[in-house]
Amino acid sequence: MSSRIFGSGIRRREDPRLITGSATYTHDIVLPGMVHAVMLRSSHAHARITRIDTEQAKAAPGVLAVYTGADIEGALQPMPCAWLLPDSDLKIAAYPCIASDVVRYTGDIVAVVVAEQPSQGYDALDLIEVDYEPLPSVTDPEAAAADGAPQLHADIEGNQAFHWTVAGGDADAAFAEAEASGVVIKERILQQRLIPNAMEPRGAVAQYSRATGELTLWNTTQNPHILRFLCSVVTGIPEDKLRVIAPEVGGGFGSKIAAYPADFVTVFCSKQLGRPVKWIETRSENYQATTHGRDHVQDVELAATKDGKITGLRCTVHAGMGAYLSTAAPGIPTILHGLMLSGCYTIPALKEDVYGVYTNGVPVEAYRGAGRPEATFMLERLIDMLAGELGMDPADVRRRNFIPKFDDGHKVITTLNYDSGDYPGALDKLLEHTGYAGLRAQQAAGPVNGKYLGLGLSSYVEICGLGPSQVAGAIGFQGGLWESAIVRFHPTGKVHVFIGASPHGQGEETTFAQIVASEIGVSSDDVKIFHGDTDATPMGWGTYGSRTTAVGGAALAVAVRKIRDKAKVLAAHLLEASVDDMEYEDGKFFVKGSPDKAKTIQDIALMANVAWDLPEGMEAGLEASTFYDPPNFVFPYGAHLAVVEVDTATGDVELKGYTALDDCGPQINPTIVEGQVHGGVVQGIGQALWEGAAYDDSGQLVTGSMLDYALPRADRLPPIDVISTVTRSPHHPLGVKGIGEAGTIASTAAVYNAVMDALKPLGVKRVDMPFTPERVWRAIQDAKGA
């Protein structure tokens, strides 16, 4: 492997088109005869529709059609849920693309207007008359599970979508013993509802041909191949007549995994009218109807000995699912959460009950980290509380409980087999790099001008590179989780790569070219990566769960190695040598000891393509394809430190410093890794300090715009110090893991712990996220009073 390009922080080739505005997003697709769909969404969180009158809207200028739930009857199947969580009493509520009798959240689609111009569509929306009979609503997941709560779905008792458990060891015995002779720490954690806020809102362009029965769907999706399948299920258009294109997609963070009713309503409109139809959501609509994340109420307890050794963990989680189950929703607070509960630590016994609960909110889906931030948070918070209880430094409690260094598999209590890791090494390096001991000394000197310093650690391990397809089947995921790649050498030695994954901002067009270049000695500039078009690329399961490099990158490496093998045989033939005598180095094939008489990969590409002189039985061309199904997940890990200052006069929290140590294995492009860490860390900080979707008592989204929903801003963030260690995954062809979600998984807990550390001398025990100044200030006032 060439060391020059693998590991080089070359610039992202995606950026010139992105930063000059010349990229083509779904909204940029303009087709002859195209018309525009606009959705009428419910203004009530829960109500019965008693009447809809669309006559005036139908007569409005430019309006071609108005459709309601009655019109799609039989034409659009209900929205499918694609993660059928086993052994969980899963109850999937009917999720119509257009609500016809009851609306269950303020984004439910009630009607669609198709007009020549979008503005005409919006004008016509105001002319649709809908009579609602309001029903009581509930948006808090715990309240929704309580007796007497408003019931969302007639056939689903207690709003319970599922009840999933994970257990290992004898947790109850561990707690009995800790009650008698150790310590038990209890906490209630609210993982507030978050809005993903991809830079590009969602949208679709559907072009149905009545002549051929074929549909092309441009869509803001993270996984076009899955969408093609789901679109076929919902619309009845057979998969072979369906082409899904994910053009440039401006971020997703999980919110573009799911299939959405609006996408299929757009398809329906195109089919009905025989014209291309575009639907693009507004930012307000994005907040109202594109999936949210988190929304857990967690009751957690930790059992430990008096010298800080963890003996058990028990938790009950009420996970808000929103009004319906989104595509992958059931797997997020369960498989991706519960199986990671023991984190970086040896925990001999644990037990968790997760209740998925229907509420009158936007459906909840994966959001960067997806289940793992919620798991990391509960564990890291409890460990800090344990440290406080025992008067130990939080770093020491972590060290006391870490899984020792391992490099080829370690089975944890939840049955997962971690691949490789050195958690103590990561923490030690972090503490040394940040001068942790000095910071503690500074803190011990006391507050300055009423400002208290706080330090927060977060050690994490995450599961990503989803995953072995056999496991996918066992955990109810309605698909495989392998990835594919086709590598095609052209006669001039230039390379086209076709992948099934669908990058949407992560930079894999750059890193995947680096993989090819490093594996076969071409320039990365000679490699073009194609993705995001189901007609042009091989099947793949999409980009989420930090899996694209971990799984798709592996597929690519394997495919390129197949090319290398074939090239070697051809080179041996052309050099009239035995294959066994051939050597390969940096794109050159030569007989041992004669590097000057080498055949370059470009020579081989030409000879393979013209096929004038091939060895007996060799096919022409230089192309390989792979379907790579990983033998295991990968488990990146790291340790983060946040330093905050809390102004006791106002409750304002200032993040003074942040250091992220991440181990994602060998880094293909350190600049891109750093970018992913920055983005991920900031999103996690956002949850701790600023973000939170709030509904009022009637189920209206109070934080309905960026005027109210506070996203992180650069001027309130310190420089983020990014460092790393490198631990190879033993089972991955390149040893790499994943980095897309790491920052988010670690940083919320680090910042939370830092703020609580700062508030400790003031006697503050808990504050709900986000740490708005008022919440912090009130907690200080209450502690003073207590």
Partner 1 sequence: MFAADFEYYRAGSVAEARELLAAHPGAKLLAGGHSLIPLLKLRLAAPAAVVDIGRIGELHGISNGGGALHIGALTTHAEIAASAAVNAGAEALAEAASQIGDPAVRNRGTIGGNVAHADPASDLPTVLAALGATFTVSGPDGERSLAAADFFQGMMATALGEHDILTAVNVPAAGSGSGSAYVKFSHPASRYAVVGAAAAVTGAGGTCAGASVAVGGATAVPVRCASVEAALAGRALSADAIAAAAAAAGSDFGDDLLGDVFASGEYRKAVAPVYVQRALTAAAERAG
For partner 1, the binding residues (CB under 8 A) are 118-119, 122-123, 126, 282, 284, 649-652, 689-690, 694, 702-703, 706-711, 713, 716, 772-774, 777-778
- Smallest distance from partner 1 to CB 114, Å: 15
Q: Which residues 6+ apart lie within 8 Å of 714 measured at CB?
A: none
- Smallest distance from partner 1 to CB 681, Å: 17
- Complex with partner 1: residue 584 or 777, whichever CB lies closer: 777
- Complex with partner 1: residue 201 or 369, whichever CB lies closer: 201
3-state class (DSSP) for residue 659:
strand
Neighbouring-strand partners of residue 624 = 487
- Complex with partner 1: residue 241 or 716, whichever CB lies closer: 716
Spatial separation of the C-alpha atoms in residues 662 and 421, rounded to whole Å: 11
- Complex with partner 1: residue 424 or 718, whichever CB lies closer: 718
State which amino acid sits at residue 488: R
**Pairing status of strand 495-499 against strand 527-530:** parallel
Contact, 625 vs 738, CB < 8 A? Answer: no
- Smallest distance from partner 1 to CB 644, Å: 15
- Smallest distance from partner 1 to CB 642, Å: 17
- Smallest distance from partner 1 to CB 682, Å: 13
- Complex with partner 1: residue 146 or 702, whichever CB lies closer: 702
3-state class (DSSP) for residue 229:
helix
Spatial separation of the C-alpha atoms in residues 221 and 228, rounded to whole Å: 10
Report cis status (omega within 30 of 0) of the bond before 467. Answer: yes
Q: Which residues 6+ apart lie within 8 Å of 641 measured at CB?
A: 430, 431, 434, 436, 455, 456, 457, 458, 657, 658, 659, 750
Segments of 154-273 assigned E as strands: 160-168, 183-194, 203-208, 215-219, 242-245
- Smallest distance from partner 1 to CB 122, Å: 5
- Complex with partner 1: residue 202 or 566, whichever CB lies closer: 202
Spatial separation of the C-alpha atoms in residues 372 and 378, rounded to whole Å: 10
Report cis status (omega within 30 of 0) of the bond before 770. Answer: yes
- Smallest distance from partner 1 to CB 458, Å: 22
- Smallest distance from partner 1 to CB 290, Å: 16
- Residue that is written with structure tokens 């949407």 in the block: 504
- Complex with partner 1: residue 469 or 703, whichever CB lies closer: 703
Tokens of 301: 């307890």
Tokens of 404: 């020792």
Q: Which residues of 362-390 are buried (b: 16+ CB within 10 A; e: fewer)?
A: bbbbbbbbbbbbbbbbbbbbbbbbbbbbb
- Complex with partner 1: residue 251 or 712, whichever CB lies closer: 712
Spatial separation of the C-alpha atoms in residues 654 and 718, rounded to whole Å: 9
- Complex with partner 1: residue 568 or 778, whichever CB lies closer: 778
- Smallest distance from partner 1 to CB 747, Å: 17
State which amino acid sits at residue 560: V
- Smallest distance from partner 1 to CB 659, Å: 23
- Complex with partner 1: residue 143 or 710, whichever CB lies closer: 710
CB atoms within 10 A of CB 763: 13
Measuring CA to CA, which residue among 299, 327, 42, 290 is closest to residue 145?
A: 299
